[in-house]
A = this chain, B = another copy of it.
Amino acid sequence: MSKILVVGSVAFDEIITPFGQTGKILGGSASYISLAAQKLIDDVGIVSVIGNDFPDTYLQKFSDRHIDLSGIEKLENEKTFYWKGRYHKDLNKRDTLVTEVNALAHFKPVVPEKFKDAEFLMLGNLHPAVQHAVIDQMKKRPKLIALDTMNFWMDTAWDDLIKILKKIDIIIINEEEARQLSQEYSIVKAAKVIQKMGPKYLIIKKGEHGALLFYDNDIFFAPALPLENVFDPTGAGDTFAGGFMGRLAKKGKTDFESMKNAVICGANLASFTVEKFGTERLENVHLEEIKQRQKKFIQLTQFQIEPL
């Protein structure tokens, strides 16, 4: 079994949806990615930074699941990254109410020795120079490097972003990000432009409308599972990425056919995350439930093809 190294934020979220609201709960890209990946493989490590206000009970959630925390630095004079947001009735829309970058502004990632040979590297949404610093610390080139980013880095760190795109295998972003990165409105055209920027593989996430996997001239589509109740979409995209990477690492393969299974697995795990606030549902989902839900994805998408 391969190791996965996850780099990203470990943070506080405070979430308001039409169905209720939370206090400060566990959030952050690395949290969702690692919790999702851990459902599939054992050897997951996080590189991140937290402040002096981060509770041990939250760290315990990871260590209880044997997620390696030796790469999480605690800055004693800083507070932890904090985001507060409110979702609309249409859960595809949300307003950010508060962003306090705090410790994350001082993040100098240090990869623990035991993860310097990780075969799968997931670079969660961070400044591209920080993401690059992680690649530079790896002892050998991972089998697969995946990267998430956001519009903010396109606005503020374009050159660094362009540079790291040449170093990675797959970029996992949403529609809006793909459009800004490519300057193309059509998602299919956007994908072609982005593939020329470096990554051979590209996943465009469309939230409740699923995700598209692009490779060469091929496209594969993973729908989101239609759910009776979507409670809180926070972390769905990161859960997707974690499920995707965890699945590939479990198989130790990175071919296109394995990636198809992996995007379905990512969508599978994301369908749990949205059922409750924050990481709650993801923390507690069992492999047997994930297997049952895979059957639903198969029913949803597979059919006995009859010739026209």
Report which A residues bind B (CB closer than 8 A): 40, 89, 185-189, 206, 209-210, 212, 218-221, 223, 226-230, 247, 251, 257-258, 260-261, 264-265, 287, 290-291, 294, 298-308
Contacts and interface: CB of A to CB of B under 8 A. Distances in A.
Nearest to A247: B308
A306 B229 CA distance: 28
Contact of A308 (B228, B294, B302, B306): B294
B219 A300 contact: yes
A226 B187 CA distance: 8
**In the complex this chain forms, how many copies of it are found?**
2
A250 B283 CA distance: 49
A98 to B, nearest CB: 28
Contacts of A304: 257, 260-261
A228 B300 contact: no
Contact of A226 (B212, B258, B298): B212
A215 to B, nearest CB: 11
Contact of A287 (B189, B209, B251, B308): B308
B306 A291 contact: no
A264 B221 CA distance: 14
Given A186-B228, A301-B301, A302-B303, 16 more contacts: A186-B227, A187-B226, A188-B228, A209-B209, A212-B226, A218-B299, A219-B226, A221-B223, A221-B300, A247-B308, A265-B308, A287-B308, A291-B308, A294-B308, A298-B305, A301-B302
